[in-house]
Structure 1
Amino acid sequence: MGLSICLALTDADWSLTKDVFSIIGTIISGAAVGVAYYFGQQGLHTWRRQLRGSADHDLARRLLIELYKLRDEIQRARSPAIFSFEGVPFEGEVVSDDPKQASYAFNERAYRRRLTAMDQARNPLQATMLEAEAIWGPDLKGLMEKVFKLEREFVIYVRLYLVSIKPEKTVQGSLSRQELLGQRRNVLYDLDSPDDVYWVEMVRALQCVENHLRERLIPS
């Protein structure tokens, strides 16, 4: 009789113990899943930040390179020296025998080539800026407006300059063109000095863009 009671109590205790261990196991499993989920989410967030940082770095690097290319082409276009290869006639072009017309044509070809080189540098930059605006917002576009405004000022001045030196049949026509050019500041030549206010403004505008982009570069 006593033995039966003992066995019964033992069986009951063992059953209860198994239930307790089952509950504990469930709690531990749930906690492990929660911990794994937490660290998994943290790892995912870290991976996303790293991926975003890498993408921002690559985009900023491309923009800086394209910005420097445009800067260099503008600087070359402002060189006072025009080399002979720059004024070579285009294929199929008829060359004039008039010395004045030939001199004008030489300068016109040189500046046309320089402005074309500027266009070829600017177009990829503007395309990449669309990508940057879609990802980062309009801040970069706002900073670049000053650079593009200064670039347009140079382009307009070159075109007016070419119009002003174009051979004319009347003195009045030549004077009116010179007056039109005189209404603008002279930005045609790179003076290579602090007196070159145009280039000082350009460097300042470029620096603002460069600082903005460098903030998105991953430190090496």
Structure 2
Amino acid sequence: MIGTVISSIGVGFAAWVGFCGLATWRKQNKGTADHDLARRLLMDLYRLRDCIGHIRNPVMLGEEGGMPDNEPEDLNFLHRCYRSTARAYQSRFAPIEEVRARLNTAILESEAVWGTELKARFALIFSLQHELWICVNSYLITINPDESEERVDFYQKIMSERETVLHERPSDWNDEFRNELNAALSLVEDYLRQKLIR
């Protein structure tokens, strides 16, 4: 009888220890998964920030636009400059597609695990990136020698509304676009840093 009671207590204690161990393991496993997801998101957030900075860099070297083999030789200077600038911006935007694909996948995963708050915080960054894309395309229209004067005027007006979007300003100047982007980046960073294991 006493052996049965002691055995029952031993079994109960072993079950309790096992349950506590399982709960600790689950908590640790969730913390590790959250940490990994937050780290991946932060890395791609910083890559996106750097890509946007590269696009906004006002210095565009001649070889950046390249000269394709199939370029007609009878193009005048304005047409060559336009095509070179368009190719340069195309190559500057190319890495964003890869980063955005990874970010979109990770944000979807975070939505399943953490809810929609992170997706909402990223929306402003994506909106600013889209604004930059619109501004670059507007600029390319304004320098295209084949565009009509009315269309060029229309797109110059669009660009004048947000003059600081296209080119980054020196760090000691007020850069409204950079300030907005940094504020949006901070919102995402603050959220993700809470998910990292210290």
In the TM superposition, residue 174 of structure 1 has moved relative to its aligned partner by 3.2
Report the Cα distance in structure 1 between the residues aligned to 2:113 and 2:73, rounded to whole angstroms. Answer: 50
Q: Which residue of 2 aligns with 1:137?
A: 115
Q: Which residue of 2 aligns with 1:82?
A: 60
Q: Which residue of 2 aligns with 1:210?
A: 189
Q: TM-score, with normalisation over the residues of structure 1?
A: 0.83
Q: Which residue of 2 aligns with 1:195?
A: 174
- For 1:84, give the aligned amino acid: G
Question: Moved runs in structure 1, 4+ residues, more than 6 A?
Answer: none
Q: Which residue of 2 aligns with 1:36?
A: 14
In the TM superposition, residue 135 of structure 1 has moved relative to its aligned partner by 1.3
Relative distance call for 1:80 and 1:45 in structure 2 (3 A) is: same
Report the Cα distance in structure 1 between the residues aligned to 2:88 and 2:181, rounded to whole angstroms. Answer: 23
Report the Cα distance in structure 2 between the residues aligned to 1:98 and 1:154, rounded to whole angstroms. Answer: 29
Q: Which residue of 2 aligns with 1:48?
A: 26
Q: Which residue of 2 aligns with 1:118?
A: 96
Relative distance call for 1:39 and 1:173 in structure 2 (3 A) is: closer
Report the Cα distance in structure 2 between the residues aligned to 1:136 and 1:162, rounded to whole angstroms. Answer: 40
Q: TM-score, with normalisation over the residues of structure 2?
A: 0.92
Report the Cα distance in structure 1 between the residues aligned to 2:74 and 2:101, rounded to whole angstroms. Answer: 33
Report the Cα distance in structure 1 between the residues aligned to 2:127 and 2:145, rounded to whole angstroms. Answer: 30
Secondary structure, counterpart of 1:188 in structure 2: coil
1:14-33 correspondence to structure 2 within 5 Å = 23-33=1-11
Q: Matched residues, percent identical? A: 39
- How far does the alpha carbon of each residue in 1:108-145 deviate from its partner, in whole angstroms, 9 at most, with x for none? 11111111222222221111111111111111101101
Relative distance call for 1:84 and 1:170 in structure 2 (3 A) is: closer
Which protein has the larger Cα radius of gyration, Structure 1 or Structure 2? 1
In the TM superposition, residue 183 of structure 1 has moved relative to its aligned partner by 4.1
Query: Are the counterparts in 1 of residues 39 and 196 from structure 2 also a CA contact under 8 Å?
Result: yes
Secondary structure, counterpart of 1:190 in structure 2: coil
For the aligned residue pairs, the C-alpha RMSD in angstroms reads 1.7
Report the Cα distance in structure 1 between the residues aligned to 2:140 and 2:9, rounded to whole angstroms. Answer: 79
In the TM superposition, residue 29 of structure 1 has moved relative to its aligned partner by 0.7
Relative distance call for 1:59 and 1:177 in structure 2 (3 A) is: closer
In the TM superposition, residue 170 of structure 1 has moved relative to its aligned partner by 4.8
Q: Which residue of 1 aligns with 2:49?
A: 71
- For 1:167, give the aligned amino acid: P
Structure 1: where are the runs of 5+ without partners?
1-22
